[in-house]
Structure 1
Amino acid sequence: MRIQVLGLCRFSLLTQGDFQTTGDDLDRNRAILYDPARMEQRMRWFEAVCIPPLMWQTDPDFLLIIVTGSDLPARWLARLQRLAQVMPQIRIEQLPPARHAPSCREALARHIDLTADVVVRFRMDDDDAVAVDYVRRVRADHRLAERLAGQHHPVVINYISGLVAEVADGRFALHAEMAQNWVPAQTFYFPGGAVRSLMNYRHDKVWTKAPTIAMPGRAMWIRGHHATNDSRGHLIGRNRIPTDEAELAQVLSRRFGLDLPALSAALTGTEDPLA
């Protein structure tokens, strides 16, 4: 059986509407998105948090579609292209301003393997991460999802254990959390040839439209939280798991291949994450 694993990562994607905190003015949102200070911060998160665990996947058979704006300034596009040169799973799609969901659906559709029996899809923001064994795990867990599979709907697995990385007032903090229906590591199993996409479903409401499985266990994701998030992060901390710093450092290393002091330095601007 051929199982394709296909991810979507939004990197400062300029869309028409769909912004929760900055309104609908396209020119204003372009100025906010492409502000050099903001872009430097987002790129640091992308290079230090999102990309390394993907590069170190124990199963490298996947694609990551990075969607960004057609007018992304050349400086930042060059840094994305630099990453694509060292990570062959990356495909960059530059999209003109349009509605968010249809644009992302079309970008994903261009990379679907039409010979696949199952297409596993996931989405993440540029400050999220998945564990280094995520791709291997989602392939193995297909045996659970296929029992609920239907011809006209996906099956969703929510890996509910992860970490929240926060930067506020120049200080870095990390804590363990359990969360249901967050975007990082929320995994959709679609039958091959399915017309619908994960972009047809709100991540927080998908349980009302498709069978879902909540999977506790080892940390499977990192969610970033900082001043440039469009979402307000009001759900963060509701199911915080008390964990000491030594254990957090161990989880970060074993599950994501990241070093706690180095990550803190990279995200607070004192170290180049790709140096």
Structure 2
Amino acid sequence: MNVNCLKSQETLFETRILNRMATPVFLLPDQLPEYQKFPLILFGQWYSTGFAQGIKWLSSIVFKLKFPCIILPPFDECNLSEILGLKVKLNMQNLNSNQLKTSDEEIGFHTGQKEFQIQSDTGFIGPGGKTMLHETAGEVPVMICLKPKNTATPLILCGVRLLSSSGLSNNKDRNAMFNGIIAWASTRQKATDDLQNKVIDKDKNYEISGETLNLISVIIAGTGVANSHEITAIASSIFGMEMTHEEISAGLDYLSQNGFIFMQKDQISVCKEAMEKYVQDIGLWSHVRILRKEFSAKQTGGNR
């Protein structure tokens, strides 16, 4: 998988670990967001004049990036709320914990597990973000997602040592979390006119987000299901996401218009090869494989 980093990170120690897990593409600060093609991951001494100044620079572009930004340790003390322009208080807290857990269905889906042994030094306190990962005992959030507006690109603050080998961490868990969060971020592409805010039903002027369209596409490619009610059930039970009838209808219309499915009266048939190629082209095939395994397990369990 590919990630973007800043040019200043190219010679950092953590980059050697990153090279074993992903392919970094380095950019200069003034090349963002124009040349960003992958999630931006910031770690180590990523900004020449310090962490606080780096956050100040980042604050002007972070919620407009083409893909999410993920900030990894170290975190220096600063007023995150003020610098990022958040309306609610967000504080950092020093931690020393390696027993972590996620209650986030998507993170669990992308990582394939719920509990992790990874050293974490920083927690985040306050209502300023959605908790993605927390310590098991005190439930202090150690990874949160900030998204001040629905149209904003997510910013992930991760106090977990994902790029640091440690005897306190299980490397398998560390790799699973790193791969999972990058996979998650790779599906969160910034809204664009031709995908994320596409008007599917011109008569109703109904818009569907690219994130929702991607989920519908993965479900159809992974299960062969193209029925609105079944898509709703799978999205809720496996992904923990709720979709409206209008969203699913708009998504099916889009896929039909592009030849991935065929709709005739009440019958919907899937062009399997075209649907699978489409999902591969948008980089979500790994999710189809995981979904097929999960869907098969649920069906087997239900038949017992």
Q: Same fold (TM over 0.5)?
A: no
TM-score, normalised via structure 1 length: 0.29
Q: Which has the higher helix share?
A: 2
TM-score, normalised via structure 2 length: 0.27
Tell which has more relative contact order, 1 or 2 (C-alpha 8 A, sep 6+). 1
